[in-house]
Chain A
Amino acid sequence: MSSSTPTDLADILFRGRNADGGWGYYPGKSSRLEPTAWATLALHNTTSQDAAALRHWPSVHGLLLERAEGGMPNIAFHGLALLTMQACGVQHEAGNAKLVDGLQRVKGIKLPPNPNSRQDNTLQAWSWFPDTFSWVEPTAWSTLSLKKWAKTTGSHVNADRLDEAERMLINRSCRVGGWNYGNPDALGQELRPYVPTTAIALLAMQDRRTDPVIARSLDYLERYATSERTGTALALTLLALRTCGRPSSSVRAALIEQLPITMDLGNHMAIALAAYALSSEQGNHAFTL
């Protein structure tokens, strides 16, 4: 793959864009919030592509819906889209402040202790969709988007929510560092962290690097940075290591090497993520606090 790779990736995204201005996960599929956010971010970084799809994306009670055609909100993707809109200077038609309010109003449900795990089920962070349990990825994107909002606008965000979310992420980390979807152990067995989820959680916790759990997780990510060789895992790892000031050149090289398979599989989210990671050499503007 040549050094023009980000352009090649952008070409795929331009070709895959739907008439409504958004992107499906795959060519020919209907527009969804997550690939639309990543593609908007990737193309903005290279071509200042118009972000009309996000500006008019449907929402209910301040939460962006997962599908352009309706359905339920997805809180993880809502957080990602909010970060994208901040990075691209896009104002949602409802007002970005309303999306921030919507995010702060929802929280994962509380559950009683579970004897099969050490995790604290009373911590309430963010779930994938309203009225369910908190998991790592929605909590990480929500936490990062609120931190970024506070930092860039100077607006007040609910510090108690952020504190509880950070405690939840620390509580759910795996013994060796890092995170999987959100269960560090079960039935006496230590569970394995996943590289891409660890990268997302570290982006959210980049300002807490002195915490031993975060330091251990960053070490874990650096050690296993190229162990999951996929466009998504390598791109997220590249973003996280660069944001946290760790060496990342080997990850970049592995990502470029992996691109033919990522492009062949055709997932717009993975392609856009790779395009953004490869093109944001000066720092990860969207995700850096």
Chain B
Amino acid sequence: MRSRSSDLSRGLSRRQFLGAMSTPLLAAACGRRPYDPARFQVPALSPVGLFPAADYAADFEQIIGRGLRELGVDVRGRRVFLKPNMVEYESNTAINTHPLVVAGAALAFRAAGAAAVVVGEGPGHRRDIEYLLTGTGLYDHLREHRIRFVDLNHDDVRPVALKSRFTGLDALALPVELLQADFIVSMPKLKTHHWAGMTAGMKNFFGAVPGAVYGWPKNILHVKGIENSIIDLNATIRPHFSIVDGVTAMEGDGPIMGRPRALGMIAMGADLVAVDATCARVIGLDPHKMPYLEEAGRFLGNVEARRILHRGEPPSRYETTFDVVDLFKGIRLERS
């Protein structure tokens, strides 16, 4: 018996649920795009780095520092905000971004000249952040390295007009400390997801929506459609970088109930769509069959493999096939 990322507030079966979520995306595919294309520019090419980390004994400051250099990241003088994925604490699982990866990233950004590095998260079910920080062990690393933590569920908020309207919402109240950052870094755990197919850098921004305003769970995002919400949050927040914890990932009934699966990599890049698309291909999922990635590929970043430049290790080094729940077996990649 475990807790699960389940928001059963829509009264729909999972198939109905997914169908309902896809409706605005389908509308967009028919030409009614709920965003202004002039406000977005997809890069011609998107570098994505895959770097080896066999286990959590690795030196993540060194690994991530190497990635920042090879990807040409310049954070000198900038305020960096690291947004890990912390959902629920249970020992011996792969639910959360590992605290050593988070700490390593903080040290790497400091070494790269960042003016300040803070870590922040707003879990969607557990509103007691003390429980997640101490349970996961992140609290000890934050103290050891004097890294400030921001509780995104309870930070001051500011209404922000959404820059795309897939959800139909005009605005969301978002945490001020996140909005004030110069350089926002998504730091997800790579997991299969029973509602969205996969969760990585883009889905991670559900944790940016403040629970004190919207409640626990953050029902509004599910009611408006998970896929729609992923796109609107990313179009609005415009994160600058993604560092994916794929050292031990999760397969099967993620994001909570799945099984740990050793993958041995850290994925990094400035184009979150390209990083997520690369992660999907590595675990045997077709990004074009995930509606949020396919739609994001039209205006937020690159999904096409030919537009992704690989740095570090080639994806073939890590390619495998993750187990997924039955509903998502149809999004598996057909490898040639």
| Complex CA distance for A228 and B134, rounded to whole angstroms | 10
> A114 to chain B: which residues have CB within 8 Å?
8, 10-13
> B42 to chain A: which residues have CB within 8 Å?
none
Q: Does B72 contact A (CB under 8 A)?
A: no
Q: Does A116 contact B (CB under 8 A)?
A: yes
Assess the A196–B128 pair: CB atoms within 8 A: yes
Q: Does B139 contact A (CB under 8 A)?
A: yes
Q: Does B173 contact A (CB under 8 A)?
A: yes
| Complex CA distance for A25 and B1, rounded to whole angstroms | 32
Q: How far is the CB of A113 from chain B (nearest CB, A)?
A: 7
Partner of B130 from the list A71, A138, A191, A267 (CB cut-off 8 Å) is A267
Q: How far is the CB of A36 from chain B (nearest CB, A)?
A: 12
* Binary flags per residue of B116-152, CB closer than 8 Å to A gives 1, else 0: 0000000001101111011000010001000001010
Q: Does B27 contact A (CB under 8 A)?
A: no
Assess the B4–A132 pair: CB atoms within 8 A: no
CB-based nearest B residue for A72 = B213
Most B CB within 10 A of own CB, among A138, A186, A192, A231? A186
Assess the A230–B220 pair: CB atoms within 8 A: no
> B223 to chain A: which residues have CB within 8 Å?
132
* Binary flags per residue of B202-244, CB closer than 8 Å to A gives 1, else 0: 0000000000111111011001000000000000000000000
| Complex CA distance for A181 and B134, rounded to whole angstroms | 20
Give the segment of A8-16, A26-34, A145-153 that binds chain B.
A26-34
Give the segment of A121-129, A213-221, A280-288 that binds chain B.
A121-129
Partner of A265 from the list B7, B13, B129, B215 (CB cut-off 8 Å) is B129
8 A Cβ contacts from A157-207 to B: 175-176, 180-183, 186-187, 189-192, 194, 196
| Complex CA distance for A232 and B14, rounded to whole angstroms | 34
Q: Does A112 contact B (CB under 8 A)?
A: yes
Assess the A133–B9 pair: CB atoms within 8 A: yes
Assess the B130–A261 pair: CB atoms within 8 A: yes
> A261 to chain B: which residues have CB within 8 Å?
130, 134, 139
Q: How far is the CB of B159 from chain A (nearest CB, A)?
A: 8
| Complex CA distance for A117 and B14, rounded to whole angstroms | 11
Q: Does B154 contact A (CB under 8 A)?
A: yes
Assess the A189–B1 pair: CB atoms within 8 A: yes
> B128 to chain A: which residues have CB within 8 Å?
196, 228, 230, 232-233, 270
Partner of A267 from the list B10, B126, B129, B213 (CB cut-off 8 Å) is B129
Assess the B2–A66 pair: CB atoms within 8 A: no
> B319 to chain A: which residues have CB within 8 Å?
none
Q: Does A262 contact B (CB under 8 A)?
A: yes
CB-based nearest B residue for A75 = B215
| Complex CA distance for A112 and B20, rounded to whole angstroms | 15
Q: Does B290 contact A (CB under 8 A)?
A: no
Assess the A74–B212 pair: CB atoms within 8 A: yes
Contact flag A181-B1 (CB < 8 Å), given A29-B156, A265-B130: no
| Complex CA distance for A76 and B14, rounded to whole angstroms | 29
Partner of A67 from the list B6, B151, B157, B216 (CB cut-off 8 Å) is B157
| Complex CA distance for A32 and B136, rounded to whole angstroms | 28
Assess the A233–B215 pair: CB atoms within 8 A: no
* Binary flags per residue of A267-284, CB closer than 8 Å to B gives 1, else 0: 101100000000000000
Q: Does B48 contact A (CB under 8 A)?
A: no
Q: How far is the CB of A285 from chain B (nearest CB, A)?
A: 24
CB-based nearest A residue for B132 = A230
| Complex CA distance for A67 and B154, rounded to whole angstroms | 11
Contact flag A25-B154 (CB < 8 Å), given A111-B9, A189-B2: yes
Assess the A111–B11 pair: CB atoms within 8 A: yes
Q: Does B257 contact A (CB under 8 A)?
A: yes
8 A Cβ contacts from A53-109 to B: 66-67, 71-72, 74, 76
Assess the B8–A186 pair: CB atoms within 8 A: yes
* Binary flags per residue of B56-95, CB closer than 8 Å to A gives 1, else 0: 0000000000000000000000000000000000000000
Q: Does A115 contact B (CB under 8 A)?
A: yes
Q: Does A119 contact B (CB under 8 A)?
A: yes
Q: Does A24 contact B (CB under 8 A)?
A: yes
Contact flag A119-B8 (CB < 8 Å), given A129-B215, A133-B219: yes
Partner of B7 from the list A32, A115, A183 (CB cut-off 8 Å) is A183
8 A Cβ contacts from B1-34 to A: 1-4, 6-14
8 additional contacts, CB 8 Å, given A135-B216, A265-B129? A111-B11, A115-B13, A128-B214, A175-B1, A187-B14, A232-B130, A265-B133, A269-B154
Please, could you name 14 A-B residue pairs with CB atoms under 8 Å apart, sorted by A?
A74-B215, A76-B215, A111-B11, A112-B12, A116-B13, A117-B6, A119-B8, A128-B219, A183-B7, A187-B6, A187-B14, A230-B131, A265-B130, A267-B130
A residues contacting B by CB (< 8 A) are 24-26, 29-30, 32, 34, 66-67, 71-72, 74, 76, 111-117, 119, 121, 127-129, 132-133, 135, 137-138, 175-176, 180-183, 186-187, 189-192, 194, 196, 228-233, 261-262, 264-265, 267, 269-270
Task: List the 5 closest A-B pairs by CB distance, nearest first.
Answer: A128-B215, A111-B11, A186-B6, A25-B154, A230-B130
B residues contacting A by CB (< 8 A) are 1-4, 6-14, 125-126, 128-131, 133-134, 139, 143, 149, 151, 154-157, 173, 194, 212-217, 219-220, 223, 253, 257
